Every structure is written in structure tokens, then in C-alpha cells.
Amino acid sequence: MSQLLIGGRWVDGVSAERLTDKYSGAVFGEMAIASPEQVELAVTGALAAVQSSQLKPYDRYRILSKAARIVESRIEALVALMRDEVGFTRADGENEVRRCVQTLELSAEEAKRLNGELVPMQAADGVQNRIGFTIHMPRGVICAITPFNSPLNTLAHKVGPALAGGNAVVIKPSNHSPLSAVALCEALLEAGLPPDLLALVHGPGQTIGRQLLADQRIAFYAFTGSTQVGREIQQAAGLRGVQLELGSIASTIVCHDADIALAIPKIINAGFRKAGQVCTSVQRLFIDRRIVGDFMPRFVEAVRATKAGDPADPSVVIGPMITRGHAERAASWVREAVAGGARILTGGTLEGQVFAPTVLDGVDESMRVVCEEIFAPVVCLMAFDDIDDAVARANASPFGLAAGLFTTNLQTAFRVSRALRFGGVHVNEASSARIDVMPFGGVKDSGYGREGPAYAIREMTEERLITIAY
């Protein structure tokens, strides 16, 4: 059973909810639900801890580094846990653990090198005998609100930089993945983190989440999730800091001169890993009309060879979606598109919570499979005649998180990268390409702020100017 971490102690909640395996439906655990009083105590304890913390930057480095080693040593148990909690295949689970380890390592290194800068005071006329510099100070209590689709690594991207910057953290994970959050907290505590600097509460976002938003003692919110909830967090936070990684309809463009053999496996991985439940999953795939006849059959054949089913089967690439309701919604959107004239080239079937990898063509850009985030293993093929038209159609989305571009022309790569209005543009990679050291975040309705430990730690600290006259 998942417990709550409050005031440095593991405690039971006021009630519990059963957790069921996403493929078999079997009960495998329980999630403790926090009371309003327990949420209050969690913030109170975190605030008191950060105000009295004596952890030096090297201490934070040492703890985060040790936590990375602990997580790494538990890869088998964590892969099995995420298979039950969120339906990850072995490949998805192993990748999640390894990326979490790397994120903790990167956060540890940033703890040692968080510096300000020297201010050129004498650039102003008449200034003499005065120096100025900046330093970074902890904000205080950071609230991390995280999704189910990256239960370890997204959490590490918030907790790691927050702790590296000297803050305390209150965690509210997805109700679908509470035990993964427990596992990361256990690793941090075993690594020597003072328990009061970390709190973990579970329960409904409508109650617990809003209570955390209303608590003015929390200095900063780091959130990954829907744009709708992100807007609510932004409005409630007011002048307090926020980092919002929100919705997306990711596009990838394949030019006529692209290396198709390179592009297809990368697009398939980006479109279908984690059952398509990734904010940067390829949903809209723009193909130059000159190569459609060559690209489409090769792509469809490769998708058909991508096995979906029981995530415990090592040969399975695509496991179940997070709930039956999510899977049925995706299936209904596909049926709606077909009724409007789209064609299913492969997939479109649903068994339990497993939605087969699906490729559509003949779609209209007003269809929900194109203009809304489907968050499922569904890719829409759309031909274009001119690269500027493809760019305009990609940019027409209200979202702007990530885009991919396949071309062997360097001029095209630079020109299109500048024209695409997305937080990240990946050349000769699909939209879902990510390395945890790089800045990650969006524009427009995809939010603002950047993950990546070197970037997040600066957002999670306050820059203070100090001047000295002599």
C-alpha cells in the first residue's frame, strides 16, 4: 500500500483506493488518500524544514548522486511496478528508470555549480569603487504535480532540481501512479535526504490539488499535465512562480529528400511508445507528396509489425492505455474520423485497454484526431506539396511543444527550424526526441518554463543582487 510522507514520517491516509493492473485488471495494491489536515501538515513540515535546513550544495550533490545509484539498483522492481501501475512494456519501463537515474545525476551536478554572475557596475557613467554580483537562493517550498505517463522521470525532473537548489518539495503525483512516487521518495530518503524536506500526498486533484494551490506558503508550482489544469494553476498561483508543461499536438515533417530508412523507425518509436501517451508523440505526420507512394506502404508495414498486447511479454512494444475510458475515447475519435471520410491503413481495434497502433490517411484537419490531442497510439498521415505549407499547417495548432523534421538539406533544416513555432525542433529526429540534459518546454498553449536540471534549477531559485561600495 502506498503511504503518505508527512513531517518526515510515513503515515496512513484517511482512506484507501484499490490499484489495478492495466492489462489484467487484477488488484495489486492500494493508494492512501490524504485528508485536508494531512495536506496542511505536509506543507507546514516542508516549510519549517527548508527554513532550518543546513544542507550545503555538496551535501545535495552527494544525496542526489546516491539516490541515482539506489534507483539504478532497483531497475527490475521498478519495471515490474510500472508495468502494473501504468501498463509499461519492458522497454518503456527500462527507459523510464534509466532516464530517471540520469536526471538525478544531472541535478546532483547542478547543485555544485549553481552560480550567479558578476555585474559590470562600471559600465554606468560615474560609478566608482562599487562591485555587484548575483547569487541564487532557495524559493522555499516547491509543489510538484506530476502525470502518470512518466511516473519516475518527470517527477525527478521536478524534485531533483528543486532539492539541488536548496528547496523543500511537496509532491502530488497522478492517482494512477502513486507507488512510483513512493519508490522515488524512498530512494531519496535512503540516500540521506533529511525527511522533512520531502512530503508526498495522494488524492483527488479537485480537492487536494486545489488545497495546495490555495496555500500561500508554497512558493513555486512545477506541473506537467493538461492545458486546462495548467490555466487553473497559473491563475491560482498569481505572482508566485510556475513551470507549466502542458498539452500538445506534435507534428513531424518528412521532406522529399529525407532518409526514409532512418525516419520510419524513429517515427514509430515516437508515435507509439507508452501506447502513444506522451505529450510529444507524433500525431500529425506531414509527408511530401513526391514520396508518399514510397513512404506510406513502408511505414504501414512497419507499424503492422509493431506488436501490441500484454506488457509482460518481452516482444510487446505497445501495452494497454491507462484506463478503459481513455482507450474507448481514442477509438471513438477514430470511428468519427472514418465516418467523415478518413481511412484506417492499419489498426483501429480495441481489446480491453490495448488500442492497436493505428495509422489514418484521408483526414480533414477539422477532425478531432488531427486538431485535438488524442494521447493514444494514433498517427495521421497528411501530404503536402510545399514545405512552407507544411510549416503553416503545423504552426496552426494552438500548441507548440515539439516538432520533428526529416531532411538531408542543411538549408531546409535551418530555415524550417526557425519557422516552426515550437519549444523544440528536432532535425532528423521525430517530435518525441529528448535527452534529459536539454531544455524542454513549450510555447503557446503548451505552457512555459523549462525542464532540464540546469534550466529548472534557475527557475526554482531566486536570483538576488548584492552590491558593495568600498
Task: List, for residues 326-354, the tens digit of each pLDDT value.
Answer: 999 999 999 999 999 999 999 999 999 99
- CB-based contacts of 413: which residues, under 8 Å, 6+ apart? 405, 407, 427, 428
Residue 52 covered by a domain: yes
Instruction: Kindly report, residue by residue over 424-438, the tens digit of the pLDDT.
Output: 999 999 999 999 999
Residue 256 covered by a domain: yes
CATH number at residue 38: 3.40.605.10
CA distance 38 to 276: 35
CA distance 11 to 229: 28
- Domain extent, residue 224, equals 4-246
CA distance 435 to 74: 22
Instruction: Kindly report, residue by residue over 213-240, the tens digit of the pLDDT.
Output: 999 999 999 999 999 999 999 999 999 9
281 lies in the same domain as 350: yes
119 lies in the same domain as 230: yes
CA distance 317 to 325: 21
238 lies in the same domain as 320: no
89 lies in the same domain as 47: yes
Q: What is the mean pLDDT of residues 360-370?
A: 97
Last residue of one domain, picked from the residues 223, 246, 269? 246
296 lies in the same domain as 421: yes
Instruction: Give residue 2's pLDDT band: very low, low, confident or very high (50, 70, 90).
Output: confident
Instruction: Give residue 303's pLDDT band: very low, low, confident or very high (50, 70, 90).
Output: very high
pLDDT for the residue numbered 401: 98
The total number of structural domains in the chain stands at 2
Residue 271 covered by a domain: yes
254 lies in the same domain as 220: no
Last residue of one domain, picked from the residues 213, 230, 246? 246
Residue 318 covered by a domain: yes
213 lies in the same domain as 332: no
266 lies in the same domain as 194: no
72, pLDDT greater than 80: yes
Q: What is the mean pLDDT of residues 434-443?
A: 97
405, pLDDT greater than 70: yes
Residue 9 covered by a domain: yes
Which residues are annotated as catalytic? 245, 279
Supply the mean pLDDT for the chain.
Answer: 97
100 lies in the same domain as 239: yes
413 lies in the same domain as 339: yes
Instruction: Give residue 1's pLDDT band: very low, low, confident or very high (50, 70, 90).
Output: low
The vertex-129 CA angle with 124 and 133, nearest 5°, equals 70
CATH number at residue 373: 3.40.309.10
300, pLDDT greater than 90: yes
User: Which among 402, 376, 20 is positioned nearest to 179, based on CA atoms?
Assistant: 20
48 lies in the same domain as 188: yes
145 lies in the same domain as 281: no
Residue 186 covered by a domain: yes
**For residues 171 and 199, is the Cβ–Cβ distance under 8 A?**
yes
Q: What is the mean pLDDT of residues 190-198?
A: 98
**For residues 116 and 134, is the Cβ–Cβ distance under 8 A?**
yes
What are the grid coordinates assigned to 316, written together?
510487446
468, pLDDT greater than 70: yes
